[in-house]
Structure 1
Amino acid sequence: MTDPRVQDPTEEGLWRPLRRLQASMDADIARIYSGKRITGLKPSFVMELLRLHARGPMTITELAESVGRTHSALSQKVAAMRDAGWVRTVEGEDARSKKVMLTDQSRAVVDRLAAEWRATEAAVAEIESEIPYPLSRVVTDIEQALERKSFHDRIAEKLAQDPAWD
């Protein structure tokens, strides 16, 4: 049984609405795919598929660098994309690397995915024109604030003031 006097810090979440918004928008994109009978495709796969289409096969490291992700994160994503049939991997130039390439399944829809990407960017631009403070500006402002003091340093300062952290 939970002690009613214990406060749950997860009840607070300033960025939770942003995560819900992103999930809702991704769900709407997934509905667009479903309407064109593109099944099993996560919106989070599309950037990598479009990048592979534009640049050709790449190692996981090359692909990770091109989309601004870590090797570890992209390795996991490539495994999920491979399991879903969107990419395949072959041995790279040395035995330690793997080349990632599109499958016939992804090549069959990649032009549609590019069209969706363009339409999504246009829709986001439309939304940003309707609000007084665009999200892209918020991101830039947060990045500038983090250049002045890192997120790590901000958290560490707060923890130094919290006796529970000792």
Structure 2
Amino acid sequence: MAPREPQFGAILFRASQLVGDQGVEAFDVLGIALDARWLSIVLALNARGPMTSTQLAEHIGHSRQVIESRVKPGVARGIFTSRPDPDDARRTIYGIGDAAKSTVARAVAVMGEFEAVYQALWDEIGIDLEAGLLAMEAALARRSLIQRLSDQRAGALAAGTEESA
């Protein structure tokens, strides 16, 4: 089988970029001054309340380092608050800043509207892409691409051995 042109990862990256860029555009048009890199953190803190970077990382699915690289500039701008964890001073608990609460409320409302937009998009293309990507993520967590490639190669080798016998 010939390699795909362009490769699957490139297509996935472009689609992800389009969603991100068009989300930023939508927030700009709607006058919501919120960095798109903060959106998952904002939604998590809004839904679950204050959390540590480790808790945010587990909830969102990014590394703690990525979360901290995104939340710290937001703290500086007042989008997020930070305070030491009273149970462990080595940890920091992040929340939504008072000055940002109205912006966050608008962003959360718009994201609720986007749920219907995404559902219409899934209907248009005939695939629930979110469900498909979640299933793909779970399948790759069970068996990595290299494991799948190794299995495929072993199967092809076994088939070749059977044919020559």
Alignment TM-score, normalising by the size of structure 2: 0.73
Segments of structure 1 that go 5 or more residues without pairing to the other structure are: 1-10, 159-166
Whichever residue aligns with residue 14 of structure 2, its letter is R
Sequence identity, in percent? 26
Change in CA separation of 1:13 and 1:45 when aligned onto 2, cut-off 3 Å: same
- Cα deviation 1:102-141 (Å, max 9, x = unaligned): 1133212122111111111111110111113332343255
Whichever residue aligns with residue 122 of structure 1, its letter is A
CA distance, structure 1, for counterparts of residue 144 and residue 89 of structure 2: 38
- Cα deviation 1:50-72 (Å, max 9, x = unaligned): 22123222221222222233322
1:133 match: secondary structure: coil
| Match in the other structure for 2:162 | none
Contact 1:91 1:98 in 2 (8 A): yes
Alignment TM-score, normalising by the size of structure 1: 0.72
Contact 1:88 1:100 in 2 (8 A): yes
CA distance, structure 2, for counterparts of residue 129 and residue 122 of structure 1: 10
Contact 1:30 1:43 in 2 (8 A): yes
Contact 1:88 1:102 in 2 (8 A): yes
Change in CA separation of 1:18 and 1:60 when aligned onto 2, cut-off 3 Å: same
How many residue pairs align between the two structures? Answer: 150
Segments of structure 2 that go 5 or more residues without pairing to the other structure are: 153-165
CA RMSD of aligned residues (A): 3.0
CA distance, structure 2, for counterparts of residue 149 and residue 53 of structure 1: 34
| Match in the other structure for 2:79 | 86
State the 1:144 CA deviation.
Answer: 5.9
